A and B are shown apart, each in its own frame.
Chain A
């Protein structure tokens, strides 16, 4: 499955697949993770199954599971695949989940209109949220207090002025 990282199905500068094994295969076992096209995904060992238990909530959890973390290192997706391999539909579902997280990760805090630029247009939208005439979008929550108010407007304005 790690060979997916070689397919460029997502922006590999934004997300990386890491293989985690229990170290039971020995020195030659790594070849199992290197496909015919080569596989440059990182591969780490967890012989004590601490990480296995932390991520999968049980040291006896079945293998062939993929866990996706978001930018706050929270588990957002967990997929399990059969031994026969990943189906096209499953691959599509996985790629969509990866790209969703990448889009979320790539968002610029304060870029309310999504034009990848912080300017007065974003300030106007945040003001509208603060006065209640526009639905709240926490992309405008500049101080991460889970709300939109004048403080967020001031912070964004200062950022824009600094970037001048």
Chain B
């Protein structure tokens, strides 16, 4: 039982997600809170590019 609980907790910790405002005015989701779970609900996978503006 303990192992089952531990595996469940570990599986939760592996899920990566965020919900942040889309600030690109040319984007379809401009102004909306978007992230991996948002797009998953629309049937889309998410690829996140980590970069910063220069």
Interface centre among B25, B43, B47, B54 (most CB of A within 10 A): B47
> A133 CA to B14 CA in the complex, in Å?
34
**Chain B minimum-CB-distance residue to A24:** B52
- Give which listed residue, A17, A41, A45, A67, contacts B21 with CB less than 8 A: A45
- Give which listed residue, B18, B44, B52, contacts A15 with CB less than 8 A: B44
Measured CB to CB, the closest approach of chain A to B12, in angstroms, equals 10
Give the size category of B's interface with A.
Answer: 20 to 34
> A38 CA to B26 CA in the complex, in Å?
8
Are the C-beta atoms of A17 and B16 separated by less than 8 Å? Answer: no
Please classify the interface of chain B as helix (H, G, I), strand (E, B), loop, or mixed, using the class held by over half of its residues.
loop
Are the C-beta atoms of A73 and B22 separated by less than 8 Å? Answer: no
Give 1 or 0 for each of B23-54: 1 = CB within 8 Å of chain A CB. Answer: 11111110000111101100111111111111
Give the size category of A's interface with B.
Answer: 35 or more
Q: List 8 A-B contacts (CB under 8 A).
A: A17-B47, A43-B27, A44-B18, A44-B34, A52-B50, A54-B16, A68-B47, A102-B45
Give residues in B with beta carbon < 8 Å to A. Answer: 14-18, 20-29, 34-37, 39-40, 43-54
